[in-house]
Amino acid sequence: MRTIVLLLALVTATAAHAEEEKIQNLSAAATNGQVSVRFSLANAFQNGQTVQGLQSGVPTSFTYIIEIFRDRPNWFDEGIDRSRIEVIATFNSVTREYLLNYRRDRKLVRSETFSDLRELERRMTSIEEPDLFDIGGRRPYKLKVRVKADLSRGWMLYVIPWQISTHWREVRVQSPAEVGAR
């Protein structure tokens, strides 16, 4: 009985933690057959464990899964493309600097160093990807983009893999006319 109560408490605590972080300000705009995506991750550094782990030298990473699909009401959505953005930060205790590696679909896009923790947090949680998806001749108003963030991975009872993630957030792709009207 104790095991079940402990397991329920662990699941509840983990679920409560996952609700704190969320994707915000998601927007997707189509221009010339390309879709650009912009969003931010809120409350990722609110708990002290993330900052403490980062400053102790543990590599800290956020993985963003971004999907574009054709929304078909009352039927299965048509998946068009998917991208994976990884931001990985490590702290060098000798130079007192943070190294940020930014990867798109497992390929290194850029590496940057920061001495300011707040600037590092901003760069890890604010994503702007111009021309991320090629939609060809598809009509933008029929497409949607959804995003989720995988924050950390752990083991429950040292056996069961456990992923802490945000909920999916989705938005309709704006056409060039809607983008120009803003």
pLDDT tens for 44-82 read 888 778 888 888 888 999 999 999 999 888 888 889 999
Closest CA to 164 of 17, 12, 66: 17
- Using CA atoms, how far residue 104 sits from 98, 109, 128, 145, in Å, is 20, 6, 12, 17
Of the pLDDT bands very low, low, confident and very high (cuts 50, 70, 90), residue 18 is very low
pLDDT at 154: 67
Of the pLDDT bands very low, low, confident and very high (cuts 50, 70, 90), residue 152 is confident
Average pLDDT over residues 25-52: 91
**With 70 as the cut, is the pLDDT of residue 178 above it?**
no
Percent of the chain with pLDDT over 90: 58
Q: Which amino acid is at 125?
A: T
In the chain, where are the structural domains located? Answer: 2-176
pLDDT tens for 2-17 read 555 444 455 555 444 4
**With 70 as the cut, is the pLDDT of residue 177 above it?**
no
**With 80 as the cut, is the pLDDT of residue 83 above it?**
yes
pLDDT tens for 84-120 read 999 999 999 899 999 999 999 999 999 999 999 999 9
pLDDT at 41: 95
pLDDT at 92: 92
Closest CA to 173 of 25, 23, 70: 70
Closest CA to 87 of 40, 24, 134, 55: 40
pLDDT at 45: 87
The DSSP-derived string for the chain is -HHHHHHHHHHHHHHHHHHH-EEEEEEEEEETTEEEEEEEEESTT-SHHHHHHHHTT--EEEEEEEEEEE--TTS--EEEEEEEEEEEEEEETTTTEEEEEEEETTEEEEEEEES-HHHHHHHHHEEEEEEEEE-TT--GGGEEEEEEEEEEEEEETTTEEEEEEPPPEEEEPBPHHHHHH-
**With 70 as the cut, is the pLDDT of residue 172 above it?**
yes
Closest CA to 26 of 35, 34, 18: 35
